[in-house]
Amino acid sequence: MSLRVAILILGLSCAAGAQQGAIPASPPQAPAQAELSTLIEKQFGPTFKLEFVREPRTGFKYLNPPKELVEWKAMHFGDLNGDGIEDAVFLALSEAPLVDQGAYGYKVIDPYFSRHGWGDPKVTATFQSEDPRFANQVILVIHGDGVEAWRAETPLAKFAIINVPYKHVMIKKAMVKKKQAQWAIAIVEEDQLTSSIFWERGKYKWQPTGSAN
């Protein structure tokens, strides 16, 4: 056996041994996802499920789009109510967002339809099933309190925002009503229109902002 062949065999043996002894990598973000899911169930109840992956959606109920899952950021941060304490925003799905609001102390709101003259979420909650592009989508907001902010055992306030036709969601500084920039929930809708949900005088409001194109 030549020296070159012997060295090659020794190298392959060492590599195989290293692979056998290696510790398998944990699934990416699995612990974080489990922790966030536990938090949401604790604060909002079992009817809400965080949307960690995103399936393609269509505006036509009879079409069956391919199941191509895409990465999806289910959690965002910002000081939405301007009190200097970090708040958290979660993207979730729920078929019955109204059910547990009394038991878990959150408030279901609908800034989108309130702007268009429909102010009662008990009525507008039935609208979301009409368009499969955003059926069951809910934006959950936790207003932080104290040093633990949104992680506090008892947050300052909790909201479930329904009927927002979002394709993408961000938290960023935005100009609302031509005033000073403030943190807002920035929405890119399915038809590439953009809008913002912002805190004003003790409640969330919705306003269109333009186009993403």
Residue 193: the pLDDT is: 85
- Residue 209's pLDDT band, with cuts at 50, 70 and 90, is confident
CA-CA distance, 149 to 91, in Å (whole number)?
19
What backbone torsions phi and psi does residue 200 show, to the nearest 5 degrees?
Answer: -150, 125
* 165 or 40, greater pLDDT: 40
Instruction: Judge whether residue 56 has pLDDT over 70.
Output: no
- Residues 58-79, mean pLDDT to the nearest whole number: 64
Cα radius of gyration (the chain): 23
Which has the higher per-residue pLDDT, 153 or 133? 153
Distance separating alpha carbons of residues 55 and 100, to the nearest angstrom:
26
pLDDT band at 19 (very low <50, low <70, confident <90, very high): very low
Give Cβ neighbours of residue 4 (< 8 Å, ≥ 6 apart).
none
**Residue 11 phi/psi, 5° resolution?**
-65, -40
pLDDT digits (tens, 9 = 90+) for 156-199: 999 999 988 888 899 988 877 666 788 999 998 877 788 999 99
